[in-house]
Structure 1
Amino acid sequence: MNTSPSVPGAGRRTDGSSVRIGALVPLTRPGWVEAGRHLLAGLELAVRDVNDAGGITGRPLELVVRDTAADPRRAAAAVDELAGLGVAALAGEYHSVVARAAAARADALGLPFLCSSAVLDALTEQPTGRVARLAPAQSHGWRIYADFLLGAGHRRIAVAAEPSVYWAAGARILRDHLAPRGGGVTELDMRSLDPGAVCDELADKRATALLLLVGHPEPAVSVVKAVRRDRRLAGIMIGAPAGQPEFAEWAALLGGDGTAVPFLRYLPERLGPLGARVGAALRERLAEAPSFVAYEGYDTVAVLAEVLRSHGPDRARIAGSWPQVAVEGTRGPIRFSRTPGIGVWQWAWPPVQVVDRDPAEPARFRVLHTG
């Protein structure tokens, strides 16, 4: 699926040719389609708001969307295509492994890339000035999650993990942070275990928490159902640091079984006036509560629009502007800096919460920990 939406809500003062931004979004399986839909909604709403305010010095802003379907090779090919179409910059992507492939190709082509949602620390193999990121690095967010586990009294933690650079990095971050503080991590290889065998391992290891480092909806949904129905595991906490319970599909598939599953999300406890206004517009556009991913999409375009107004559509000037960015985003002031261990320009840091769905009211989220 390749889409190039028309420019929504072009303001009265826009004229002439458009300024184009390329957007990478997972819109089909095996990509996380619901996350992609929220990301795209945020991107599109921000483009509409930019054009309603007069565009980029009188020129309409246009979003040229390409579906990555969670495929790194497809994403790299899309970067080549978008660069050839003359986009000024690249935006978006949710899946970390896909964003890494896109970042490598964009860097090689001299195309500035503002990554919206992917958190993998090693977004690029070598430091680069062309790539910036809004989402917090995985090491930052997952350490906060580990602190939450310790504060809740969990020391014997199991992770049900599939093979992936992203999941392996997450398990390593948890292990390195928990071990010096008296916690231990047991890894359950989901290539060889079905949900029933996972339950047996949890009972045998006397784990107090199981973290899902697996794909959604499967095998995550099947594992949750099996654990919830196993009487031996009545006291175990299920967690999903990658954020699977954020989206409505999780609640629809699991109902009450999907509540009380803590996950990471990147929102403040209270939105300011801009965040509240954008949230209301996103809710109308999505016909449901917007996730933090939708806000990430909006903030991505807000940053790029400000850069384009100040520096024009020249790619080299855009890439050189990251350290000068000062934009009021939906979740707070956005500035980029060089962060130790991170090879791209990084917003350090977006707000981070550990939340879950309230068992008494599954549509409501409870904030359990902030960092």
Structure 2
Amino acid sequence: MSTPQPPPRAERTDTSAVQIGALVPLTRPGWVEAGQHLLAGLELAVRDVNDAGGIVGRPLELVVRDTAADPQRAAAAVDELARLGVAALAGEYHSVVARAAAARADALGLPFLCSSAVLDALTEQPTEWVARLAPPQSRGWQLYADFLLSAGHTRIAVATEPSVYWASGVRILRDYLASRGGTVIELDMRALAPTAVCDELIDNRATALLLLVGNPEPAVSIVKSVRGDQRLTEIMIGAPAGQPEFAEWATLLGDDSVAIPFLRYLPERLSPLGARVETVLRERLAEAPSFVAFEGYDTVAVLADVLRSDGADRARIAESWPRVAVEGTRGQIQFSRTPGISVWQWASTPIQVVDRDPAKPDRFRILHTS
């Protein structure tokens, strides 16, 4: 069997690889399924880049490090990858972990294109070294609050655990809803068992419960408790952070996995590139790719474009963020400065509120869009 040759313009004359460091949660307590989808997208994009001739004749290579949702481990990985000579960093799903990685990348002068993390304050101070594809948490969660209000929910309980990310989410929801007649009731899951949540919902006359907690636990146990309580048949359960996106959710909860609205970052229609990528990722993952897989692919697509035009010099890569114009799987990607956001930001990331269809749990219904 003959191997197809790369196009003439991309003939490889230098076999030394251009390396990108990839930060991915692949073991617990990280959200492993999200990490697997993110890595699948990153790897597919690298394959596509190399099939097209690489980076001006040099192969592109991922150097993967498992963060396991540990900020200190992520910061140490950034140090190691910087010493290894990677041109840039890519990836990470967990916001608190990405924040630690971004701070270290900024300190070291290592470009970091963050794939998935949404925390508004990804760095303490404005930085030229970090750019992001996912929308800021404030933008997505305010859209989610609009969805709640449009569905008639004004008394909203949030089951929450200690975390900068969850606390930021509560603050966004409370500030946005308070000015529009809504109330947020905070349920501290350090003090409540999942079964006790039901009484709290009734006592507080809540019509919606949002899961701002870890996955799979205690999120799965809370859903089972609420769905099993005959007093709460009318309450809406929501998960803005996206727990129901992945197949594990449906496997663990069965019929209880449906009709739980969450945020995902996909357009109503993928670009032609996105449609092709979806087909290949579905084969690789043996399931429908999540939005996180597309984020991974788009991350490498952007970095490859920058590396082709500006080379592998770290400072030049960081200087290129405002000049990026790349057609990704979900639309054209360009970065700009957004008020209140400290990193270069893709300002037009598509956002949807979706849920799993009760009639067919592996199908998603679009309920609200940006």
Which band: TM-score by shorter chain?
over 0.9
Q: Is the 8 A contact 2:271 2:328 kept in 1?
A: no
Distance 1:144 1:215, change over 3 A: same
Deviations 1:263-288 (A, max 9, x none): 00000011121110011011011110
Mapped to 2, the partners of 1:96 and 1:68 lie a distance apart of 12
Sequence identity of aligned pairs in percent? 82
CA–CA separation in structure 2 for the residues paired with 1:10 and 1:253: 46
Tell me how far 1:94 sits from its aligned partner. 0.2
Counterpart amino acid of 2:259? A
- Residue number in structure 1 paired with 2:127: 128
Task: Report if the CA contact (8 A) 1:10-1:60 is conserved.
Answer: no
Kept after mapping to 2: 8 A contact 1:263/1:354: yes
- Correspondence for 1:35: 34
Shift of 1:290: 0.1
Instruction: Name the CA distance, whole Å, in 2 between partners of 1:122 and 1:362.
Output: 35
> Cα distance, 1:206 vs. partner?
1.0
Gaps of 5+ in 1: 1-8
CA distance, structure 2, for counterparts of residue 271 and residue 167 of structure 1: 30
Distance of 1:211 and 1:243 partners within structure 2: 11
Structure 2 distance, partners of 1:208, 1:10, is 61
1:341-360 paired onto structure 2 within 5 Å: 341-360=340-359
Q: Partner amino acid for 1:172? A: R
Cα distance in 1, alignment partners of residues 171 and 79 from structure 2: 33
The CA distance in 2 between the partners of 1:10 and 1:27, in whole Å, is 34
Alpha-carbon distance, 1:56 to partner: 0.1
Question: Which residue does 1:56 correspond to in 2?
Answer: 55
Task: Name the structure 2 match of 1:167.
Answer: 166
Taking the aligned partners of 1:116 and 1:101, their CA distance within structure 2 comes to: 14
Aligned to 1:287: 286
5 Å matches for 1:90-109? 90-109=89-108
Q: Distance in 2 between matches of 1:185 and 1:116?
A: 30
Please say if 1:250 is aligned against 2:255. Answer: no
Q: Which runs of 4+ in 1 moved over 3 A?
A: 9-12
Residue-pair matches, total: 363
Matches of 1:361 and 1:138, distance apart in 2: 29
Aligned partner letter, 1:165: V
Could you tell me how far 1:182 is from its partner in structure 2? Answer: 0.6
Matched-pair contact (CA < 8 Å) for 1:10–1:48: no
Partner of residue 83, structure 1: 82
Secondary structure at the counterpart of residue 179 of structure 2: helix
The equivalent of 2:192 in structure 1 is 193
CA distance in 2, matches of 1:271, 1:127: 32
Counterpart residue number, 2:141: 142
Q: What does residue range 181-330 of structure 1 map to in structure 2 within 5 Å? A: 181-330=180-329
**Distance between the aligned counterparts of 2:330 and 2:317, measured in 1?**
23
Q: Residue 117 of structure 1: CA displacement?
A: 0.1
5+ residue gaps, structure 2: none
Alignment match, 1:4: none
Q: Which amino acid aligns with 1:80?
A: D
What does the per-residue CA deviation read over 1:285-343, in whole Å, with 9 as the maximum and x for residues that have no partner? 11100000000000000000000000000000000000000000000000000000000
CA contact (8 A) 2:23 2:64 kept: yes
Are the equivalent residues in 2 in contact too, given 1:275–1:331 (CA < 8 A)? yes
Distance 1:10 1:16, change over 3 A: farther
Separation in 2 of the partners of 1:255 and 1:274? 33
Q: Distance in 2 between matches of 1:295 and 1:16?
A: 28
| Equivalent-residue separation in structure 2 for 1:231 and 1:328 (angstroms) | 49
Does the 8 A contact of 1:146 with 1:178 survive in 2? yes
SS at match of 1:17: coil
Residue 142 of structure 1, CA deviation: 0.2
Indicate the residue corresponding to 2:71 in structure 1: 72
From the superposition, tell whether residues 108 and 222 of structure 1 become closer, same or farther in structure 2 (CA, over 3 Å): same
1:142-180 CA deviation, whole Å, 9 max, x = no partner? 000000000000000000000000000000000011011
Work out the CA distance in 1 between the residues paired with 2:369 and 2:231.
31
Structure 1 distance, partners of 2:196, 2:93, is: 31
Shift of 1:10: 9.8
Give the counterpart letter for 1:298 in structure 2: Y
CA contact (8 A) 2:55 2:304 kept: yes
Specify the SS of the correspondent of 1:45.
helix
- Which amino acid is the alignment partner of residue 79 of structure 1? V
1:120 aligned counterpart, secondary structure: coil
Contact 1:10 1:54 in 2 (8 A): no
Match of 2:114 in 1: 115
CA RMSD of aligned residues (A): 1.0
- Is the 1:46–1:298 Cα contact (8 Å) retained in structure 2? yes
Pairwise CA distance, 1:349: 2.0
**Structure 2 residue aligned with 1:333:** 332
Q: Deviations over 1:251-274 (max 9, x none)?
A: 000011010000000000111211
CA distance in 2, matches of 1:154, 1:10: 59
Q: Secondary structure at the match of 2:252?
A: helix
8 A contact 2:113–2:299 mirrored in 1? yes
**Deviation of residue 123 (structure 1)?**
0.1
How far did residue 69 of structure 1 move?
0.2
